[in-house]
Structure 1
Amino acid sequence: MSGEVLPPIESVSGGSYGVRAGYAQMLALASRYERQAGDLAEMATTGGRVMADGDLLASSVLSPLSFAEAEVQVLDATTGADGLTVRAVGIEADAVGVRAVVAAFVASDAFAQHLGEAIDTTLGRLAGQALPRALPVLLAAGGITYVWWSTLSPREQAEVGAQLTDDLGRLVHDHPDLAQHLVNSGGGLLDGLTGGLVTGSAVLTGAGDGPVHGATTNDAARLMAVLLGDDTDVTVTEVPGVEGGAGVAQPDSLRSLVEQLSMTNDLDEGRGRADLHGAIQVQRVGEEPDDRYIVYLPGTDDMGPLPGPGGLVRDMETNLQLIGGMDNAYGRGVQQAMLDAGLEGKQVMLVGHSQGGMVSAALAADAEFARHFTVQHVVTAGAPTAQVEALPAGTSALHLENRGDAVPLLDGEDNPDQPRRTTVLFDEGTHDVVDNHSLDHYVSGAAAADASTDGSIRDQVEQMRADGFLGSGSGPVQTFVLARSASR
C-alpha cells in the first residue's frame, strides 16, 4: 500500500542465492572445467594423428624443410610448453582445486554444526544431572519467592508479572540465538535427567516413532508425545456454504497469500461458527486441465500441556509429534481432506501458520503424501521447520520468521540452507512474545518480502507466479473440519 512502512528484512538464507546454491554453482563450474580439459586433451591427440598421416609423410621427401617446420609447429601447439596438453592439465587442476575448496567449506559447515550440537547437548546433560541435586535449594528458593509474592498487593503482583513477561520478550527478541540454543539442549537435558537410560536404548516402542537412539531435542519431543498417547485418529467433515474465510480471488502476491491464510484462521471458534473449529480450506486456482490448488492450514488451537476435550487436532500433542518427526492426526486429516476434495494427482501449494507450517513442510517431505499430490510450493509463517531436513527436488519452500517470535525457535536449529528453500527473517517484533506470533505481523513480513530485491526471494515468488499459484484469477473454496476421533 502507498506510504506503508514495511518491516526491515534482517536476513535471507538459502534459496537460489544461498550458500548451498553457491556450492552447487562452484561444482558446476568444476564440471565445466573438466569437460573443457577433456576436449583440449582430445584435440591434442589430433597433432599426433596429423603427423602420422601417410600422405603427409610421403610429401616430406619432396619438401623436408617445410615438413620439419610444420612438425615443430604442430607438436608445439599440442604437446609443447604452451600447447593443448599442458593447458588441459592446468584446467583439470583448476577443477580439482574448486572441488577441494567446496569440500573444505562443506566439511567446515558440518564441523561447526556438529560442534554446536555437541555443546548444546553437553550443557543440557550437565543441567539434567545437576537438577536433582539442586532441587532442595530450588524448592527452598521457590518457597521464599512465594512468601514474598504473597505479601504483594494485586496491583504489585500484576506489575511484577508484566515486568517478567517484558524481560522474557526482550531476551527472545534481542537474543534469539540464546533461546534457540536452550531449546537445542533439550535432548541433553533428557539424557541427564534419566542418567543415560534413554540414549541407545529401546525405551520408546510401539505406535510411536520407535526406539530413541541418542538423546536429541527431537527425541525429547517423541518421548513427550508417546507419554501423551501418540494419538493419530482423525475425522474429516466437509462443511458447505461457509461464509468468511479465504476469498475466491486468487492471491496475487505473498501478502495476499498470507492474508488468505489469516482469513482461514479467523474461522476459529470464538471468531466464527463453533462448528468450524479445526477448519482448513482448499482453494482452486485455474481451470481444468490446468487447475491447481492452495491449501490453507492454521496453527495451534490448544496450547495446554495435556490433551483437552473437544477433539482438537491442533494441540500440543501434534506439535510434539511434528517436532519428533512422527505421524500425527493433523497431517492425516489434511491428506484425507485433500483426497475428499478431489486433489489426487494435482499440483498443490501448502500454506501454513505455526503448526500449520510445520505440517506443511512435513507433508511435502513425506513419500506417502507425494504418491497422491505434487507439492510444488510450501509457504510457512512463524513455524519451526528445521526438523524437516530435506524436501523433494521439485518442491520449493519459503519460510517467513518474525524476530522476537519464539515459535520458529522451537526446533532448536536454523533452517537448512538449500537452493530451493529460502528463510526470510524480518523484524516487526516487540517484547510481546505472544503478539510477535500474530498473523498480522506475518502479513507485513510477506509484504516486505514482496518488495524485496533479494535474488532468492524474487526467484521464489516468480516461480510461484510461473507455476500459476499467484495471479489475477479466482476459484472456489472448500472448507473441511478436522477433529480427533470421539474414542479418545
Structure 2
Amino acid sequence: MSEQLWGQDIEQVRDLARTFDRSAQNLDAARQLIDGAVLGFDGWGANVDEMRDMWSGDLAPSLTHAADALRTAGDKAAQNADDQQETTDSYSGGSPFAGASASGSVQAGNPFAGASAEGSGEAESDGGVLDWFGDQVSDGAGWLSDSASDLGGWLSDAGSAIGGSFGSLGDAGGQLWDATGGSILDGRWPRTTEMIASGLLFGGSLVNAALTAGTAGQVDLQLFDDGDPYAGDPQPVNPDTMTIPNDIEDLTQSVTDAYGAGDGTVRVTTIDTPEGPRVIVSVPGTESWNPATGDNPMDLTGNLVTAGGGTSTMTRAVELAMQNADIPPGAEVMLVGHSQGGMTVADLVSDSGFVSEYNVTNAMTFGSPIDSNRIDPGVNVLEVQHQSDVVPRLDLGDSRAPFLPGSPDSGSNHTDLTLDNPGSWYDATANHSHKEYTDSLSSSTDPGLTAYEQQLRDSGFLSGNENSTSAVDVHVGREN
C-alpha cells in the first residue's frame, strides 16, 4: 500500500502571514495616534494625570506587545511556507499540496508545521509555537475587548460632558442676545439688570465650556449649567406642624416652613371653602450660591437666568410641582415667594397662559427684585420689601441700560409696601431674612397691607379653619 502524504496550502499560509503583519502595523498606528491624542492636548488635573498614566503604563505597552506577537507569528508562518515550498519542490511526486519528510509524514493543515529531514521532531516543536500563539491571541482578544469597552465608556462620558457644556453656553448666549439685541427687535429697550445677569451667565458658561473641552471632558464642574427640571411626588404635611393661613404673616411663615422642610421644597396648601378650593403655593428663595450646579435649582445659576430675563429650571420645576400636586379644577390659586422664590412667582404670573390654566388670582413677593416683570393684569400683586434690603433693588427699578434715553416702562399692577428695617440699615442678613419679614408684617399697620389682607380674607385664602386646610410638600430639582 502506497504512503499518502498531505501538506498545507502554501499560498493560504503566505496570506495569513501577510494578515498578521498588516494587523501588527495597524496596532502600531493606533498606538501612535492615541499617543498624540492623550499626551498632546493641553490638560491638567488629577483625572488627566491618571488617564495619561493608565495609557503610558498599561494600555500602550499592551498594544505594543500584541503587535509584536502578531509580527512574530507572521514571520513564523512565512518561514514555514518557505520550508513547505522547499519540501514540495524536492518531492518526486511534484504535487503542490504534498509534503515529504524522512519519516514520511507532515502535519495536516498546520501553517506552523513544515517538513524537514527530522519530520516528527519539527512538528512537535511547531505545535508548541502554535499553542503559545493561541494563548497570545486569546489574551490579546480579551484585553482588546476590555480596553475597547473602557475606552468607549470614557469617550461617551467625555463627549457627553463636552456637549453639555457647549449646550449650556449656547443657552446663555441666546439669553444674552434676548436681553440686548433681541429686546430691541421686540420693541423693548434692554434692561440694565437683565444685561448684567445675562453677561455674567454667559461669561461663566464660557469658562465652563473651555475648561471641559480643554481637559477632554475629564473636568466637568457644570458651572452655570441650569439643566432640566423635575418634581417629585407630593408628600402630605403633618397637620400638627402646618401653618394655617389666618393672616398675611402666615403666608410668609408657610414659605419659612418650606425652607425648613428640606432643600428644594415647594409647599402647596389647599383650603376648602364654600365657594370652592383655594390653593396657596409657597416658594423659598436661594439655598445655594455655588456656581457649580447640582440637584437644587434654588441657586446662583437660577438667579442669573431669571434676573437675565430667561425661564429658569426653577420656574419650570415649580410648575411641575403644581401639576404633581393635583390642584383641584377651578380652584383659585395664590403664589407666594421670598427672594429667588419671589422672582420665580413673578416669572410664572407674567405668563398669561399659566395664569389662565391655573386660575391665578393673587401673588405676593417679599425681598424680591420683580420690577422688570410684566405681570398679567388679572393678578393682584403685593410686593413687600424692607427699607434697606438690597436684594429687591437689584432690578434697579426696571431701569433701562444707562446709555439709553427716557424713563422705564410702567410696571404691572402692584401694591408696593416698604417696611421699617428689623435692625440696623447695614445689617444685610437681617434685612433680607424671611423670618424677619414675618415679624415686620405682623407689626405693620400700613393701609395698603390692610386692604390687601382683607381682599385675601374675602376671597377665602385666609380662612383660619384648620379642619378644612391640608398641605403637601413637593421636592423640585434639576437634572444635569
* TM-score, normalization by structure 2: 0.52
For 2:315, the equivalent position in structure 1 comes to 331
Q: Show the 5 A alignment for 1:248-259.
A: 249=244, 251-259=245-253
For 1:383, the equivalent position in structure 2 comes to 368
For 2:269, the equivalent position in structure 1 comes to 283
d(CA) in 2 for partners of 1:333, 1:204: 19
The 8 Å contact of residues 231 and 321 in structure 2, kept in 1 or not, is answered as yes
For 1:312, the equivalent position in structure 2 comes to 296
For 2:442, the equivalent position in structure 1 comes to 447
Q: Show the 5 A alignment for 1:108-257.
A: 205-206=173-174, 210=178, 212-213=180-181, 216-226=192-202, 227=205, 229=224, 231-243=226-238, 247=242, 249=244, 251-257=245-251
For 1:295, the equivalent position in structure 2 comes to 281
Residue-by-residue CA offset, 1:443-462 (whole Å, 9 max, x unaligned)? 1221133x33x2x3332121
1:243 Cα deviation (Å)?
4.7
1:340 Cα deviation (Å)?
1.4
d(CA) in 1 for partners of 2:315, 2:285: 12
Rg bigger for which structure? 2
Partner SS state of residue 370, structure 1: helix
**Once superposed, what is the RMSD of the aligned Cα atoms?**
2.8
For 2:260, the equivalent position in structure 1 comes to 266
Q: Show the 5 A alignment for 1:417-428.
A: 420-428=414-422
1:225 counterpart letter in structure 2: L
2:337 counterpart letter in structure 1: G
The 8 Å contact of residues 245 and 266 in structure 1, kept in 2 or not, is answered as no
Does 1:484 pair with 2:478?
yes
Does 1:459 pair with 2:451?
yes
Q: Show the 5 A alignment for 1:13-32.
A: none
Residue-by-residue CA offset, 1:292-335 (whole Å, 9 max, x unaligned)? 1001101101123x1244x1110111111111121111110111
The 8 Å contact of residues 348 and 375 in structure 1, kept in 2 or not, is answered as yes
1:346 counterpart letter in structure 2: A
d(CA) in 1 for partners of 2:266, 2:275: 24
For 1:77, the equivalent position in structure 2 comes to none
For 2:324, the equivalent position in structure 1 comes to 340
For 1:398, the equivalent position in structure 2 comes to 382
1:471–1:315 CA distance, 2 compared to 1 (3 A): same
d(CA) in 2 for partners of 1:429, 1:417: 30
The 8 Å contact of residues 179 and 198 in structure 2, kept in 1 or not, is answered as no
For 2:305, the equivalent position in structure 1 comes to 321
1:229–1:237 CA distance, 2 compared to 1 (3 A): same
Partner SS state of residue 291, structure 1: strand
Structure 1 vs Structure 2: percent identity of aligned residues? 26
d(CA) in 2 for partners of 1:400, 1:247: 23
1:429–1:399 CA distance, 2 compared to 1 (3 A): farther
The 8 Å contact of residues 226 and 297 in structure 2, kept in 1 or not, is answered as no
Residue-by-residue CA offset, 1:258-297 (whole Å, 9 max, x unaligned)? 12221221123xxxxxxxx211100001247600100110
The 8 Å contact of residues 386 and 432 in structure 2, kept in 1 or not, is answered as yes
For 1:429, the equivalent position in structure 2 comes to 423
The 8 Å contact of residues 384 and 408 in structure 1, kept in 2 or not, is answered as yes
1:265 counterpart letter in structure 2: Y
The match for 1:469 among 455, 461, 466 is 461
d(CA) in 2 for partners of 1:257, 1:215: 31
Partner SS state of residue 384, structure 1: coil
d(CA) in 2 for partners of 1:458, 1:437: 22
d(CA) in 2 for partners of 1:314, 1:203: 19
1:259 counterpart letter in structure 2: Q
1:436 Cα deviation (Å)?
2.0
The 8 Å contact of residues 245 and 260 in structure 1, kept in 2 or not, is answered as no
Runs (5+) with no aligned partner, structure 2? 1-169, 182-189, 206-222, 400-409
For 1:18, the equivalent position in structure 2 comes to none
The match for 1:355 among 295, 320, 340 is 340
The 8 Å contact of residues 403 and 425 in structure 1, kept in 2 or not, is answered as yes
d(CA) in 1 for partners of 2:451, 2:177: 36
d(CA) in 2 for partners of 1:231, 1:283: 28
The match for 2:352 among 358, 362, 367 is 367
The 8 Å contact of residues 224 and 293 in structure 2, kept in 1 or not, is answered as no
The 8 Å contact of residues 390 and 428 in structure 2, kept in 1 or not, is answered as yes
1:253 counterpart letter in structure 2: D
Residue-by-residue CA offset, 1:6-38 (whole Å, 9 max, x unaligned)? xxxxxxxxxxxxxxxxxxxxxxxxxxxxxxxxx
The 8 Å contact of residues 375 and 413 in structure 2, kept in 1 or not, is answered as no
1:265–1:466 CA distance, 2 compared to 1 (3 A): same
* TM-score, normalization by structure 1: 0.51
The 8 Å contact of residues 400 and 446 in structure 1, kept in 2 or not, is answered as no
d(CA) in 2 for partners of 1:423, 1:417: 15
The alignment of Structure 1 onto Structure 2 pairs a total of residues equal to 270
d(CA) in 2 for partners of 1:221, 1:414: 13
For 1:168, the equivalent position in structure 2 comes to none
Partner SS state of residue 413, structure 1: helix
2:226 counterpart letter in structure 1: D
1:300–1:326 CA distance, 2 compared to 1 (3 A): same
The 8 Å contact of residues 248 and 283 in structure 1, kept in 2 or not, is answered as no
Runs (5+) with no aligned partner, structure 1? 1-201, 269-276
d(CA) in 2 for partners of 1:215, 1:295: 29
1:209–1:397 CA distance, 2 compared to 1 (3 A): farther
1:217 Cα deviation (Å)?
2.2
The 8 Å contact of residues 239 and 470 in structure 2, kept in 1 or not, is answered as no
Partner SS state of residue 365, structure 2: strand
The 8 Å contact of residues 383 and 414 in structure 2, kept in 1 or not, is answered as no
Partner SS state of residue 481, structure 1: strand
